[in-house]
Amino acid sequence: MKDNAATSCRETFADGLETVHMLNGTVRLDLFTLQARRNEEKPVPMVSERIIIPLQGFIQLYETLGKVVDKLVQDGVLNRKPQETNNWDIQK
């Protein structure tokens, strides 16, 4: 990839991952942002963006993110703890 490609790409902020769907050989990642709502004590997660990626690309993403997490744990920046909940829907 050329150096100027990074300066022209769109950036999206997300507070987290809401759902993961696998459908017809693609993985769909729904990202959420936290939104303040009237009469709600805490911010509410609202889906704001969906990333659709082929299964092979998802596997590459998984492997790359695993390496990043391993490095952060090794450097003491992050402590591993079990995932408490998820909202993943695997459909074939």
Domain residue extents for the chain: 3-79+86-90
Helix or strand or coil: residue 85?
coil
Q: How does pLDDT run along the chain (92 residues), one tens digit per residue?
A: 556 656 789 899 999 999 999 999 999 999 999 999 888 889 999 999 999 999 999 999 999 999 999 999 999 998 877 666 666 665 54
Determine the residue type at 35: Q
Tokens of 72: 């952060």
pTM above 0.85, yes or no: no
The strand order across the sheet containing 16-23 reads 44-54, 26-35, 16-23, 88-90
Q: What is the secondary structure of 48-76 as a DSSP string?
A: EEEEEEEHHHHHHHHHHHHHHHHHHHHTT
Output the pLDDT for position 39: 86
